[in-house]
Structure 1
Amino acid sequence: MGINCSTLLPCCVDSEVKSSVLEVPNAENEDRIEANDGPAFCEFTLNQLNNATSGFAVENIVSEHGEKAPNVVYKGKLDNQMRIVVKRFNRNAWPDARQFLEEARSVGLLRNQRLANLLGCCCEDDERLLVAEYMPNETLAKHLFHWETQPMKWAMRLRVVLHLAEALEYCTSQGRALYHDLNAYRVLFDEDGNPRLSTFGLMKNSRDGKSYSTNLAFTPPEYLRTGRVTPESVIYSFGTLLLDLLSGKHIPPSHALDLIRDRNLQMLTDSCLEGQFSDDDGTELVRLASRCLQYEPRERPNTKSIVAALTPLQKETEVPSQLLMGIQHSAATVASLSPLGEACSRKDLTAIHEVLEHLGYKDDDGVANELSFQMWTNQIQDTLNSKKTGDAAFQQKDFRLAIESYTQFIDIGTMVSPTVHARRSLCYLMSDMPQEALNDAMQAQVISPVWHIASYLQSVALAGLGMENEAQSALVEGTTLEAKRNTPRK
């Protein structure tokens, strides 16, 4: 029995969507996913994902995501403001559409707080796309190898390996023990700074390339012999990640094992970690890494024993990941807001009204309005009259009349104006109609994609709908767009 996708994922309300949702098959899974009761897996249309990624725009490409060309990962935003990433496969990657759908649906059954969960897929013509949760705080590779403000603390490194081991143990318990090319790019950080394992690596390998990177020094030895991924191969890759976190560098396992045999642990340990851990803790992590990197697959530990070994090593367990990582939460990133941004963060509708009234129609400059002569003679006067009446009502704070007049302007359709949609959005907010306000703010963004005011108004409307996380994201987006707008071009 399927679940109606539209009740769980608002993006799928569209009649174009093809509902195909799978339920979790047993009660044991229900206990496991309780901490991450996200939307059910569903199939998207290509049109939906095209809209979400602004036509798969180059500026939406996520460069660090562990994917090899020609596969590309894009960030995007669904109609319900949920942020997503979309992996677009090479057109020759999955020639069998049924195989792709079955594999995506199988991975889509998984729901766990240690995973960047797979939300859906798209299979139209020769297009093959996966949709997953958006993780805003980049990859482990970025924080470990290319850090800018501070190196990752020892306590956070231990948390990363435990969460990663728990993710692999959960996947193993659900019959998905194989993970392709496990590396520091596959570990992502959510808005709270918690590490998550990308679900993209759980898809069985197709024609899009090898299961491991071309760097043979980091490839499990049995894979070099057989070309097959096994659960033990995944443990070997986990061992290379342990080395990464211990050293802060990407050290080839053979070189690391030589250092371990020579008891030269100082050369293996990140100098930035000096004084942060005891010799016993360091020795225990090195011992675990060497076990994972054994040449014979049968001599490597399983995920359950790895979790058991890492759990007692955890430090500062009461400290949030966000603080350990030195990541500013989205609420903190808007400390220096413009007057409009601050008004929107406070949901101060009166202050927003003052700003919009003062701004007038300055931001409508450059919006294309192609009018034929017949349109001009027959409809332009009605259009201008409706707008004029709406503007007068807006100024006098007669929001009911403003809504009626602006609606007439929009319905006539002779001209488009992001400002009219923004003004009607605020009128709806004043009238306690947040859904209608959100629709208008989104339409303003469609007309003018980089207009910060559209994002700001979306933030207020989303807050009115009780979607606080999405509201905060929209506020940050508005701040970013406004900052870019005010930065002089060189």
Structure 2
Amino acid sequence: MELVRNTNLSALLVLLSCFCLQFGSATDTITAAKFINDSETIISNGGDFKLGFFSPPNSTDRYVGIWYAEISVFTVVWVANRNNPLKNSSGILTISEVGNLVVLDGQKKVLWSSNLTNSVVNSSAQLLDSGNLVLQGNTTGTFLWESFQHPSDTFMKNMKISTDVRTGKKVQLTSWKSPSDPSIGNFSAGIEVRNIPEIFIWNDSNTYWRSGPWNGQIFIGIPDMISVYLDGFNLVPDNDGTFYLSFSFSNDSFTTKFVLNAQGNIQQTYFDTGDDHWGIEWSALNTDCDVYGRCGAFGSCNSQNSPICSCIPGFEPKNRKEWNRGNWTSGCVRRRPLQCERVNNGSDGGKKDGFLKLTKMKVPDFTDRSSAQEEKCRNQCLENCSCVAYAFDAGIGCMPWTGSLIDLQKFSSGGIDLYVRLAYSELDKEGNVKVIVTVTVIIGVIFSGICIYLLWRWMSKQKGKMHLPLSQLTKIYEHREEEEMGDDNHGDNVNQAKLEELPILNLQELASSTNSFHQSNKLGQGGFGPVYKGKLSDGQEIAVKRLSKASGQGLEEFLNEMVVISKLQHRNLVRLLGCCIEGEEKMLVYEYMPNKSLDLFLFDSVKPKLLDWKRRFNIIEGISRGLLYLHRDSRLKIIHRDLKASNILLDEELNPKISDFGMARIFGGNEDQANTTRVVGTYGYMSLEYAMKGQFSEKSDVFSFGVLLLEIISGRRNSSFYACFQAWKMWNADNIVALTDPIIREPCFEMEILRCIHVGLLCVQDFANDRPSVSIVISMLKSEIIDLPLPKQPAFTERQIAPDASSSQNNLSKCSINNVTVTMVQGR
């Protein structure tokens, strides 16, 4: 009896397992039995893409489409029924009786179909993690149809844009009519293979843009492609005469795509998880010169000139009147006939033609191709009277032109050399111009040599200043601080700031450790300048902070940070390992923080999940302990003045360390408050008295800490003073749920989170006297102080600006700079 019971139980478990497996496998698949209606979606196995019904912005029409599942900004990459929208939510996506994928309306009318003539009964459609929707037979498993072969306006990695040279069949992009209308627009983009494959954009049937020929690695008509796309694109011919274009990047976390927009421009966009939006990495059309044939035949376009069009040397406008009015479509004509043309006309042949070299050019359209080497290419063109120009590229070979030169463009960088055939008399004129230019250049060189010598003498004196001992650099710092703080504030506090022994690293050592400050080692970009990861010869990992010439900060902030942080040692402050001052280079060397800055965790779309409440509370406590050390426990009282999430670094265990002391100020033992005529910091983190009057104290840092505390709890970036008022409003309405990051909403932590919000609101009160000190803040966070006072309503925008405006003007009358530090993180 027991055996029977066990057998029945086993059978039941097997049936349940089969049911679960069948149910689970159906989440990315559509069959005739399992269709989806307007309210349903399917999602790819890895969760990257969704398929379902949607409405574009400002439209009520319904379409079947595919979009990114894990990106917060709704982004459609493919649309089925583009030209036949549904007017209500009665639509169904299913498999028809004959095996086609179809979109039906409420009356079972077919609005769109995969339209296969060789369809298979009982087929199924599956959404893959690549974003490709495939129709496949249940028995063979082969793809009968796929959305990648019928794209809309988006070109994604692992897709293939193709052209069959024999049949003329193309897989190409087609634009939307507008952002609200995905029906097929006026523009299309694909591969055109005349003699050499190129990418074209067409406006209806007219060429609108072209990429220039493919040389096996790049399209030579895209000037910046060598540095951007060398490892991304691939264009290969198949054995049957079909050319395929695809792209993929080694970094799978880099979400990027190419979109042909409604204006006819192909743009590469990437998703910036930090700012939560699609950024533009590259555009096909950036200037008027990128439009096909802008300057007509034998006309060259240069976006740096005004007007942008000019005839190439040896040619003149065909219609001078129209040309002068800015209508360049008629192009240019040759001024002097070629030698072979004169011979054919019975005239005296004269001297032979020659070639004029044009550098950094986008080569013209309609090129031929031969395998001749460069010198032979020149001779072949010279022997052919119809040949008007030639160019040579190692990846393509010889490219001669026998017709009009269309779509010429002069680049500031990139491009290749183009040799234009001219009559000897035209070349002679060009030779005279060269003589004039040569003489001018010689005179200029002599004059420049004198200037360079004088400049060298001046720089020699300046260079001596840059190699001053650190003690004298400190004196420069003290003098500058006196100027900022006023005569009454340069007593004991500055004299205490004598720089202790700090290791001096040489420039060559730091360049070697960072691979010559290579872009791949760049960690981020701050107001000071770029920060690079490096490894010293002993294996120690470091972060090198290099002052940028374009930075709003300079020697003052550099010396300030060096003086301040060299005196500090605390587990919650980043440790300064050394510095480098050589010539124009000024660098600070820190311990390396593998997890970078706090803002990358809080405001990312994925990383906040790594910060549970225990880790966040540990970060809050660590920041407060570091701040307490700065204000009370160190030998010097330090006011940071720029406390924010991007200036909190995280070590390998996510312990916080306060960084960036370029704006910090040292207080004497008896000082509690100081004034400045130079307000620095970041909008949204600055207290009222500091932003309006230039007054800063410990309570200024407490305000910044309160803003930071509320950001850590809410997971949202504070962008204005009004955000503090909103936080107070939600707290006052007992709506803590709306203020708390969903990731940390757990009942067991509710009281602790509530107490932290309460403390944060006490820290961001308008008046400095109302805010607690850091030591009291720590006691509040540890519940050593049980009864907390009620925070006053932050009313900065409504109550304080107007009364303080006049006094602000008086206090800041000497102000010339309002420095705001900004941190940008670059994807690699």
TM-score, normalised to structure 2, is: 0.30
Aligned to 2:698: 231
- CA, structure 1 residues 239+47, in 2 after alignment: closer, same or farther (shift >3 Å)? same
1:177 deviation in Å? 2.7
**What is the letter of the counterpart of residue 681 of structure 2?**
Y
Looking at structure 2, the residues matched to 60 and 44 of structure 1 have their Cα atoms a distance apart, in angstroms, of 19
| Alpha-carbon separation, structure 1, partners of 2:661 and 2:507 | 19
Report whether the alignment pairs 1:222 with 2:683: no
Q: Indicate conservation of the 8 Å contact 1:77/1:84, yes or no.
A: yes
Query: Equivalent of 2:545, from 68, 84, 87?
Result: 87
The change in CA–CA distance for 1:159 and 1:102 in structure 2 (over 3 A counts) is closer
Tell me how far apart the structure 2 counterparts of residues 95 and 223 of structure 1 sit (CA, whole Å). 22
Following superposition, the deviation at residue 41 of structure 1 comes to 3.2
Q: Deviations over 1:439-472 (max 9, x none)?
A: xxxxxxxxxxxxxxxxxxxxxxxxxxxxxxxxxx
Between stretches 141-150 and 237-246, larger displacement belongs to 141-150
> Is residue 44 of structure 1 aligned with residue 505 of structure 2?
yes
The AA in structure 2 aligned to 1:55 is: S
2:170 corresponding residue in structure 1: none
Q: How is 1:186-205 mapped onto 2 (pairs within 5 angstroms)?
A: 186-200=647-661, 203=664
Offset of residue 101 of structure 1: 4.2
Partner of 1:56: 517
Instruction: Specify whether residues 277 and 200 from structure 1 end up closer, same or farther in structure 2 by C-alpha distance, changes over 3 A only.
Output: farther
Could you tell me whether the CA contact under 8 Å between 1:42 and 1:120 is conserved in 2? yes
The residue number in structure 2 matching 1:113 is 571
Give the Cα separation in 1 of the matches to 2:771 and 2:714.
Answer: 21
Distance 1:147-1:276 versus aligned 2 partners, 3 A rule: farther
Q: Which of 1 and 2 has greater Rg?
A: 2
The residue aligned with 1:155 is 614
Once residues 690 and 768 of structure 2 are traced to their aligned partners in structure 1, the CA distance between those partners, rounded to angstroms, is: 11
2:763 pairs with 1:292: yes
> Cα–Cα, structure 1 residues 100 and 204, in superposed 2: closer, same or farther, change >3 Å?
farther
Cα offset, 1:102, TM superposition: 6.5
Contact 1:52 1:76 survives alignment (8 Å)? yes
SS in 2 for 1:128: strand
Name the CA distance, whole Å, in 2 between partners of 1:199 and 1:161: 18
Q: Is the CA contact (8 Å cut-off) linking 1:247 and 1:270 kept in structure 2?
A: yes
Which structure: greater strand fraction?
Answer: 2
Higher helix share: 1
Deviations 1:1-56 (A, max 9, x none): xxxxxxxxxxxxxxxx99979xxxxxxxxxxxxxxxxx973122222222222222
Measure how far apart 1:240 and its partner are.
0.8
Query: d(CA) in 2 for partners of 1:160 and 1:218?
Result: 18
Pairs within 5 Å for 1:294-309: 294-309=765-780
Which secondary structure state, in structure 1, belongs to the residue aligned with residue 746 of structure 2? coil
Counterpart CA distance in 1 for 2:616 and 2:662 is 21
* Cα deviation, residue 72, structure 1: 1.4
1:275 aligned to which of 726, 734, 746: 746
2: CA distance, partners of 1:42 / 1:94 = 23
Matched residue, 1:256: 727
**Superposed displacement of residue 311, structure 1:** 3.1
Unaligned runs of 5+ residues in structure 1 are 1-16, 22-38, 314-483, 485-490
Q: Output the CA distance in 2 between the equivalents of 1:230 and 1:138.
A: 28
Is 1:243 equivalent to 2:710 in the alignment? Answer: yes
1:211 Cα offset (Å): 2.5
Tell me, yes or no, if the aligned pair for 1:139 and 1:189 is still in contact at 8 Å. yes
TM-fit CA distance, 1:112: 1.5
Deviation at 1:166, TM superposition (A): 0.4
Identify the residue that residue 626 of structure 2 maps to in structure 1: 167
Q: Aligned letter for 1:233?
A: S
**Structure 2 residue corresponding to 1:212, chosen from 681, 697, 706:** 681
Q: 1:421-448 deviations in whole A, cap 9, x for unaligned?
A: xxxxxxxxxxxxxxxxxxxxxxxxxxxx
TM-score by length of 1: 0.50
Q: What is the DSSP-based 3-state SS (H/G/I as helix, E as strand, rest coil) of the residue aligned with 2:639?
A: coil
Q: Residues of 1 paired with 2:655 and 2:555: CA distance? A: 36
**Is contact 1:137-1:191 (8 Å) kept?**
yes
Which 5+ residue runs of structure 2 have no aligned equivalent?
Answer: 1-466, 472-499, 667-677, 785-827
| Change over 3 Å in CA distance of 1:220–1:80 after alignment to 2 | same
Q: 1:103 to 1:311 in 2, by over 3 A?
A: same
What is the distance in 2 between the residues matched to 1:266 and 1:160?
21
Q: Distance in 1 between matches of 2:768 and 2:567?
A: 29
Displacement of 1:100 after TM fit?
4.5
- Greater CA deviation, 291-300 or 243-252? 243-252
Is the Cα contact below 8 Å between 2:522 and 2:533 reproduced in 1?
yes
8 Å CA contact retained: 1:218, 1:253: no
- For the structure 1 residues 95 and 218, does the alpha-carbon distance in structure 2 shift closer, same or farther, using more than 3 Å as the test? closer
- CA drift of 1:106 comes to 3.4
Task: Report if the CA contact (8 A) 2:679-2:691 is conserved.
Answer: no
Give the number of equivalent residue pairs: 272
2:561–2:660 CA contact under 8 A, matched in 1: no
Q: 2: distance between equivalents of 1:277 and 1:211?
A: 40
